[in-house]
Amino acid sequence: MKFVDYGDTGSVNNSDLKHLKKEYIELPAQAIACCLNNIEPAPSGQWMEDATNAFEELVFDKNLSAEVSVTRKIADVDIWYRLNDQGFLG
């Protein structure tokens, strides 16, 4: 099974599958492949756990803005903190 929200695949038991209403089958997937612009893993091609944890700490439960640009098969995403009315990071 392909999980369109995260883009990964996995196995599920048949007993965990549910019928999808016909009206939803006709809709296209509501997720697109994307990546953070100008952000790449270490030369090994693998994300280091420390880097992943640091990134999560920077963005988790934060009010972020994003700009999405599609210039190839996947969308590039730039994210940043938005300054609030008092000029502080929010």
| Domain count of the fold of the chain | 1
pLDDT at site 11 = 92
Residue 81: band (very low, low, confident or very high) from pLDDT cuts 50, 70, 90? low
Q: Answer yes or no: is 90 within a domain.
A: no
Q: Cα separation of 20 and 6, whole Å? A: 19
The pLDDT tens digits for 23-56 are: 888 887 776 777 888 888 888 888 899 988 998 8
Which amino acid is it at 27? L
Q: Dihedral of CA 75/76/80/82: which sign? A: negative
- For residue 39, the enclosing domain spans 14-81
The reply to whether 87 falls in a domain is no
Check if the beta carbon of residue 7 is closer than 8 Å to that of residue 33.
yes
In the predicted model, what is the mean pLDDT of the chain? 79
Q: Considering the domain boundaries, does residue 54 fall inside one? A: yes
| Mean pLDDT calculated for residue range 54-82 | 79
Note whether residue 3 is domain-resident. no
pLDDT confidence tier of residue 90, bands split at 50, 70 and 90: very low
